[in-house]
Amino acid sequence: IASTDPALPSGEGCRTVPLAGHVGFDSLPDQLVNKSVSQGFCFNILCVGETGLGKSTLMDTLFNTKFEGEPATHTQPGVQLRSNTYDLQESNVGLKLTIVSTVGFGDQINKEDSYKPIVEFIDAQFEAYLQEELKIRRVLHTYHDSRIHACLYFIAPTGHSLKSLDLVTMKKLDSKVNIIPIIAKSDAISKSELTKFKIKITSELVSNGVQIYQFPTDDESVAEINGTMNAHLPFAVIGSTEELKIGNKMMKARQYPWGTVQVENEAHCDFVKLREMLIRVNMEDLREQTHTRHYELYRRCKLEEMGFKDTDPDSKPFSLQETYEAKRNEFLGELQKKEEEMRQMFVQRVKEKEAELKEAEKELHEKFDCLKKLHQDEKKKLEDKKKSLDDEVNAFKQRKTAAELLQSQGSQAGGSQTLKRDKEKKK
């Protein structure tokens, strides 16, 4: 009898029983395949690299088509991410392919923050998926998953070592996306230089702690080929959509004055290895790693920031309801605390304003008293001056009256003397 104890881990306490006949659940893989094929698949590639390294050409070569896109210039003020989504169909399998390119990467004089727009874009896709996942009514089966599944990091074929920009950017991205480093335009350096360059790149990645995507070896069906291909990283690739006649066949190649480089010739470059590993063998593992590793890390960090944890301080399981209640109570407590702080601040500001108004009123009263006293002093001065002027006017009038009296007396005296002389003459 199988155990029904929920405390037991899955698989423990169960026993294997034989079947007496055919049941039919062996068709589950076929059901899953049919359902997946009907729904279609999505795959999102991020191409990171400096302008002019052939990112668009390689994408056209990988998927054997011509994607629309404008060539980027070296005059971008900053790094911009350009996303384009295409519907591809091969046999009866549909693929919604999204290609994200980093326009202007490495073109600025100050490259210190060149990685930030890329990190922000990847986090934005994780956040959009998380928000959809946290909705009450979720539609994840029809949701267009825009999370980046693979990052093809294009390395310039210098033949010396990785640039500091490459190391810093890959270090910032390795915990957020599956990085597959590739040496772009590998026909620019010789075979011996290319081998040394690969060894140098691998050594620098290891010494700087950059974790690139390793093709899985836990599945026996692909363990051998993936183990072999891990040793070939980083892939040295060449892209070309031009077909040339080589022998009796038309093949993708690049024509040079010194000869022809065949894109799909493994003796010339690792393009076939890249296509095999990226699309034909490990595409589903890249999608799975994105969800189970990189997205889970982002989700865990975000939920921990929000206060959600698997266990409490006593190592007891946390329920979502308890966590929600705890966060709600904490939020309400903080809200009440802020309300009290705002109330206290308001009361304090009212008191300060009242004190300011009282001080202003006191100053106005003092100014009024000062002006009143000044007015009274001026009034008194004017009254004194008026009195003085009135006294002067009265004195002047008195002098004038006295002068007029003296003048009249003098004229009378003069008239009497004249009459007297006239009388004497007559005599």
Which two structure tokens, joined as six digits, stand for 104? 């202007």
Unique residue bearing structure tokens 């006593």? 314
Q: Which one is predicted more confidently, 17 or 326?
A: 17
DSSP state of 162: -
Mean pLDDT of the chain: 89
- Distance, in Å, from the CA atom of 181 to the CA atom of 168, rounded to the nearest integer, reads 14
Last residue of a domain, which of 284, 306, 328? 306
Looking at residue 417, its pLDDT comes to 76
Looking at residue 318, its pLDDT comes to 63
Domain that holds residue 232: 37-306
Q: Is residue 224 part of a domain?
A: yes
CB 262 within 8 A of CB 270: no
CATH number of the domain to which 282 belongs: 3.40.50.300
Give all strands (DSSP E) within 157-219, no chain letters: 179-183
Looking at residue 223, its pLDDT comes to 92
Q: Is residue 184 part of a domain?
A: yes
Residues 123 and 191 in one domain: yes
Unique residue bearing structure tokens 């802020």? 338
Number of domains in the chain: 2
- The continuous run of DSSP H or E covering 99 comes out as strand 93-103
Looking at residue 327, its pLDDT comes to 78
Unique residue bearing structure tokens 């003397």? 417
Q: Kindly give, in sequence order, each residue whose CB lies less than 8 Å from that of residue 241, ignoring residues fewer than 6 positions away.
A: 57, 60, 61, 66, 252
pLDDT band at 424, cuts 50/70/90? Answer: confident
Residues 367 and 297 in one domain: no
Q: Is residue 51 part of a domain?
A: yes
Residues 77 and 174 in one domain: yes
pLDDT band at 314, cuts 50/70/90? Answer: low
Q: Which one is predicted more confidently, 421 or 114?
A: 114
Residue in 306, 188, 177 with CA at minimum distance from that of residue 236: 188
pLDDT band at 14, cuts 50/70/90? Answer: confident
Assign residue 209 a region: left if phi > 0, alpha if psi is -120 to 50, beta otherwise?
A: left
Looking at residue 135, its pLDDT comes to 87
Last residue of a domain, which of 253, 279, 306? 306
Residues 148 and 281 in one domain: yes
Residues 295 and 329 in one domain: no
Q: Is residue 173 part of a domain?
A: yes
Cis status of the peptide bond prior to 234, with omega within 30 of 0: yes
Residues 182 and 59 in one domain: yes
DSSP letter string over 224-272? HHHHHHHTTPSEE------EEEETTEEEEEEEETTEEEETT-TTT-SHH
